[in-house]
Chains A and B, each alone.
Chain A
Amino acid sequence: MLQKLEEVKKEFDSEIDSVASMPDMAQFKADYIGKKGRLSALMGGMRDLSVEDKKTFGARANEVKQEMIAAVEKRSQAIELEAINAKLEKNRQDISWTDRITDKGQQAAGLHPLTKVTRELEDLFLSMGFDILDGPHIEDEYHNFEALNIPESHPARDMQDTFWFKDKKHLLRTHTSNLQIRGMETHKPPFKFVGPGKVFRCETLDASHEAAFHQLEGMMVGRDISVPHMIHFLRTLLSEIFKSELKVRLRPGFFPFVEPGFELDYECLLCGGKGCSVCKQVGWVEALGCGMVHPNVLRGGGIDPNEFNGFAFGLGIDRLTMMRYRIDDVRHLHSGNLQFSEQFRTY
């Protein structure tokens, strides 16, 4: 009997892997371990055995049954998986065919390079406790010139080829310095603010000259502010912008609304000051104009220059952007050409 049991088990083991479907499996299961299956039949003949043999056979028969149940379970799962996978295989899609390799027209999306650089500057100044201001592009003479210590007779009015409106009183702001005046109207010292924005100069256009471009004006007014404070601040600022410890130098520069006035240069990052084509062999690159706010400007803004003083600076955002991305022609910035814009894609 025991031998028969082992034969049935052997047969079971040899056949189970060839069962290929769930209905076949149900049949197979019934054949072996069903109520009328071969195992039951064998167990039915147990009563003829001796007590001793009954015990041995019963234990073994139970063991075999448990093994068979487990094997059927395992094989059933495998059959189910095969069936699902066969279905998945049928519905297989080409996952290499992404949008990126498909012609669906323009897919890229992103911000304009000037927006990117302006935001970076704004965030930098915010982190240093500066307010961010905005102001009108169409200005009056007062905010663009007079209040900035540039009276009508001043030759500096020539330096900034101004776009005038026909009333000869209004103009397109030639610098963001009008924000100094507008900022003083809304802030009480001590204060510090910056203002980025579009400015306009009546210049003939070429690859490096635009009639509409962007500046960022900054002003910090408080008590006992000195030129060394300004140098420290601007050096920190530029080092942060260029992500590199910079060397800076001041040289006299003329802006009527500051006194003393300076041009601030930084040591060329490309050649380390030895001279190259980027720095025009000078070793230094012009970064921004700056200076201590002229007492007349403070006074015009209702601030007593004997109590408060401060510094102001202005930097060109377009030039910074062009340097950052090595943009070859300033006219691309306002072109509205997506072939240009999509290079600055976010994704």
Chain B
Amino acid sequence: MKISLDWIKDFVELPELSPQEMGVRFTLSTCEVEGVEETNAHMEQVSVVEITKIEAHPEADKLRLVSFETGSGERRVVCGAPNVAPGMKVPFAPIGTTLPGGFTLEPKKIRGVMSEGMLCAEDELGLSDDHAGLMELPADAPVGKSLAEYLELKRDVLLDIDNKSITHRPDLWGHYGMAREFSAAFGKPLAKPFDEAWIEKMRGLYNDETPPVSVTVDEGTACLGFCGLSVDGVSIKSSPVWMQQRLTACGMRPINNIVDISNYVMLELGMPNHIFDRDTVRGGRIIVRDMGKDGTFTTLDEMERKMIAADTMVCDAEGPSSIGGIMGGLTSSVKDETNRVFIEVANWKPERIRHTSTRLGLRTDASQRYEKSLDSHQIERTVLRILELLLESCPEAKVVGSLVSDKVQLKPPLIIDLTLERVNSILGTTLEQSEVIRILESLEYKIDAQGDVMKVTVPSYRATKDVEVDADLIEDVGRIYGFDKLIPLAPHNEITVTSLSPAKIMERRIQDFMVLRGRALEIYSYPLTGARLLEQADWSVMNEGLVLANALSPETDRMRPSLVPSLLEKASLNQKFHSKYRLFELGRSYLENEKNFSEDRHQLGIIYFDKNESPFMDVLNLMGDLLESLSLKAQIQPPNPKFANPVVASDWTGRHPHEFLDVRVMGKICGFIGTIHPLMCSKFKIKGNLVMAVLDMTDFMDRPVKDKTKYKPLPKFPGATFDCTVVAETNTPAADVLGVLKKVKLKELEDVRIVDVYPLSESQKTVTLRSWLLDRDKTLAPDFLKEAENKIVAALDKAGYPLKQG
């Protein structure tokens, strides 16, 4: 929203500060000033001149040398405008003028001829978009007069206020409210031209005639009160220049005196309003009621809007004439021949306005003000200010009857108890009570000091939502006193021991492990996904229950049910740049949950990709190490049809027939390691070996990672090793062969490992096994060793793995 300081000066005297300083001061005391703009300064340098002579440019056909009288001597410029003619009056900007585009005129030669400034078109002066030719001034325009003086253009400074910073302040949506803040911030008195006495005086214009329009507001509508006043004998014309200027400065296009007054008063008092052509009010009745049934309505921007039964409309005897609090209809607006008008000022329920305007995608100057909770006390004041300006514009106009209204409820004043002690303890200040009272009074609070307690009456325009409790008053005291005056102070601090939560510790350990051991890069992928990606990944959980009502795009319309589809997408992306890579993500997926609506799942996703060799064993070994490093009781095992894997469906296309293992932690399956099936890879245009592992940590991440080390004294007696090579079928997993030794009942057998596997023939291979034998109490006797070796060989033989002969 733009605030004109020239307008503010109607109500308060401002200190001599540069526009920039003004912006900073206001930012610190009240709300965010996003920009400062000075207008019309150049108009004081631009003056009316009369063209005297036109000559051809010696070097350019399209340019001419134009001489003119400035009132203080003749000048000459080079000019290319098509409409120059002797005797014409035009605006002239001398060297040194800074035009609205931001550039300053300097002496320069144009094609070898010196030009002493510039004759201007309207757009160059910032008056309009017209660039057809030089701005032609009336013949009687006095030569030498500045344009500022001639056109009555006032120099002004505009502050661009960030609307978000005044969301909570309905009183700041008009210049008068802003002026009150300037008055408090700078300690200057505020003029009160619209006070009770003025209202009383203006009411004197009401008369006994029967009001030609009656007003009824139905129960249960969005309306918080509706007032109107009929005025006859208006005539439609242009507004005075000063009003047009202010409206333009604030971003409104001047239309005619009636529309302009309506907008002007909204920008001044912050209360939206509507001035109807009264002849369009059919049946002399205005009824505010809900639509009652769905239908359409054409707003004054000539758009047909879809209305629903619960929308509140302002209607006449025949039907709706505007959408309450949002926008008027096409038919009720003032026309050139309008003579009788009806001034409407109403108040509306913020949430209802917000609902309707959001649904219609129609945010207007009116709706965004009503959304902030406006003050019904301002309704009649607004009607009367409109009336005042209307009579200024059309002195022949007259009021018909008096104010008609329905359902206007004026809330009793809000009184808040405030103590000085509370103010000083929150702000850390040592303010006197008199100082606090002075500040609050400058914001038009009324204070009744009763001993230690100040009974503070909140002005009605602050009491609609903004100010509720003493903390709100303390904020007002603080910002006007100046938060920059507060001296930072170290808080008194209790000594507390803090540490990261077990979940955080586990996350960090995983991340560090993946970087230092897994040699992987961490990525973040998007927690939102869409049906297209899920279908591409053949993912059976579509999360229909977690679809957003207002998604930005179909690609991000729901929460992802798993990290897997996201990881496939990222795998596809990255294989374009790397023939081999390793990445991981600690991310969330989301599942529907009947009881709690949804549950956030914490997952680790790992991807190893290699164009040439399968990294499956790397990932498998990595996962084993990871689980051990987290001290988790875990197994990695082939899938068993009896136990479903909750992380990935048993019939998922991405499952590899052999290279797929379940990860089980503390008895529950919560992850997998798998080579992604080539069929799935081809759906993502991935060419190479893609191995993925997912570990859902949700169920165990809150358990502290415990150090389960059990120290054993180092052996005092030497041990022995025994190697043997046995024959097995080619397809027999080496681990099965080793498994036989793990079951041998021999307490001296400390450890068994595979040394080597070697192909013997098409169908057979050899497996060399090493056993470690150790007795912690004595040296192993040769007889015992022989016996132990026989036991080992016999066990293998019995399991179908005979000793290799020769």
Contacts and interface: CB of A to CB of B under 8 A. Distances in A.
A114 B523 CA distance: 10
Nearest to B501: A132
A345 B581 CA distance: 14
Interface of B: 27-32, 164-169, 349-351, 354, 358, 371-373, 425-428, 465, 469, 471-472, 474-475, 478-479, 483-484, 486-501, 503-504, 508, 511, 514-516, 518-528, 545-552, 556, 559, 566, 569-570, 573-574, 577-583, 585, 588, 590, 597-598, 600, 610-611
Contact of B588 (A115, A137, A222, A233): A137
Contacts of B504: 122, 132, 134
Contacts of B549: 164-166, 168
Interface residues of A, number: 90
A212 B164 CA distance: 21
Nearest to B493: A129
Given A190-B494, A227-B486, A336-B573, A137 B590 contact: yes
27 contacts: A109-B521, A110-B515, A111-B522, A126-B499, A138-B546, A155-B350, A155-B371, A155-B372, A165-B547, A165-B548, A166-B547, A170-B598, A212-B526, A226-B425, A226-B427, A227-B427, A251-B483, A252-B28, A252-B30, A252-B475, A260-B474, A292-B471, A338-B574, A338-B577, A341-B522, A345-B521, A346-B515
A140 B433 CA distance: 44
B498 A131 contact: yes
Given A140-B597, A252-B479, 4 more contacts: A109-B521, A134-B501, A153-B351, A153-B354
A309 interface: yes
A156 B167 contact: yes
Contacts of A294: 471
Contact of B488 (A114, A192, A235): A235
Nearest to B170: A155
A109 B520 contact: yes
What DSSP secondary structure best describes chain B's contact surface?
mixed
Contacts of A3: none
Interface string A249-280: 11111101001111100000000000000000
Nearest to A136: B600
A250 B483 contact: yes
Interface stretch (A18-26, A38-46, A69-77, A197-205): A197-205
Contacts of A345: 521
Given A115-B522, A249-B28, A261 B475 contact: yes
Interface in A110-146: 110-112, 114-115, 119, 122, 126, 129-134, 136-138, 140
A48 to B, nearest CB: 62
Interface string A306-347: 000100000000000000000000000111111101100110
B579 to A, nearest CB: 5
B490 A336 contact: no
A294 B494 CA distance: 23
Interface stretch (A8-16, A27-35, A100-108): A100-108
Nearest to B478: A260
Contacts of A250: 483-484, 486
A284 B713 CA distance: 64
A126 B498 CA distance: 6
Nearest to B484: A249
Nearest to A310: B491
Contact of A159 (B164, B486, B527): B164
A84 interface: no
Contacts of B167: 155-156, 158-159, 254
A187 to B, nearest CB: 11
A9 B547 CA distance: 102
A287 interface: no
Nearest to B28: A251
Contact of A260 (B27, B475, B556): B475
Contacts of B573: 336-337
Contacts of B579: 103, 105
B490 A109 contact: no
Given A220-B491, A333-B524, A231 B511 contact: no
Given A232-B489, A252-B29, A345-B521, A138 B494 contact: no
Contact of A227 (B483, B494, B569): B483
A303 interface: no
A63 interface: no
Nearest to B582: A106
B389 to A, nearest CB: 29
Nearest to A224: B425
Contact of B519 (A109, A204, A252): A109
Interface in A156-189: 156, 158-159, 162-170, 172
Given A132-B504, A166-B549, A252-B479, A228 B524 contact: no
Nearest to A210: B526
Contacts of B492: 224
Q: Which of B164, B483, B503 has the most CB of A within 10 A?
A: B483
A109 B521 CA distance: 5
A61 to B, nearest CB: 52
Please give me the 4 A-B residue pairs with the lowest Cβ-Cβ distance, nearest first: A105-B580, A260-B475, A336-B570, A228-B428
